[in-house]
Amino acid sequence: MTSPAPRGAHFLFLLASSRRDGNAETLARHAAAALPGGTRQTWRRLDEHPLPPFADLRHASAEAWQPAIDGHARTLLEATLAATDLVFVAPVYWYSLPASAKLYLDHWTAWLRAPGWDFKARMAGKSLWAVTALSDSDLRYAAPLEGALKLTAAYLDMRWAGLLAGEGNRPGDVTRDTRALTAAKTFFRSADPGSRADG
């Protein structure tokens, strides 16, 4: 018998691989399949929501710093704020995050200052998770990716909820990583119903 979904939980899966059906996505789908029935899930492929290059206008004039949040940025911002749980589904690229995930994070810097969105206060209390894949059998090479997201969570008073890592290079390889698949079954169990933020 599955336990009921935490009241109000809404998981946003941010797919950051530059290919479809890759190892990180496969592992994330395994983990999501074990979420309690009825848990709200939204899946967004960052490559399908291309963001403009980030321009650092923080110290420009007040007129220059009126970031228009429209198009894909607005879609991603609204999805981000609507979620209680953000899950980066991001393979290791050069020991770090893929560019699409990094660009999405850079845009948080604009969203933090965008009038009327109250981004910082509304991010506080959400949970941040990561599901990754890498070709190296030594999962410690995912440490920079994990560290960046962990520190990001702390900066925004979010809860760092954990990393699920699997080994694989070609799509499908991760299905042979039995340790990762076993870990996926319980990965989201530490979702904490007591610390839900309302979108």
Ligand X SMILES: Cc1cc2nc3c(=O)[nH]c(=O)nc-3n(C[C@H](O)[C@H](O)[C@H](O)COP(=O)(O)O)c2cc1C
Q: Which positions lie near ligand X, rule CB under 6 A?
A: 17, 19, 22-25, 91-95, 133-136, 141, 168-169, 171
Nearer to ligand X, 81 or 145 (CB): 145
Nearest distance from residue 142's CB to ligand X, in Å?
A: 8
Shortest CB 190 distance to ligand X, Å:
23
Least Å from the CB of residue 111 to ligand X: 26
Judged by beta carbon, residue 136 or residue 157, the one nearer ligand X is 136
The residue among 73 and 89 lying less far from ligand X, judged by its C-beta, is 89
Integer Cα distance of 59 and 45 in angstroms: 31
Q: For ligand X, which is the closer residue by CB, 43 or 141?
A: 141
Please state, as a whole number, how many other Cβ atoms lie within 10 Å of the Cβ of residue 120.
14
| Choice between 42 and 169, CB closer to ligand X | 169
Least Å distance, CB 29 to ligand X, is 11
Tell me how far, at minimum, the Cβ of 101 lies from ligand X, in Å. 12
Q: Nearest residue by C-beta to ligand X?
A: 22
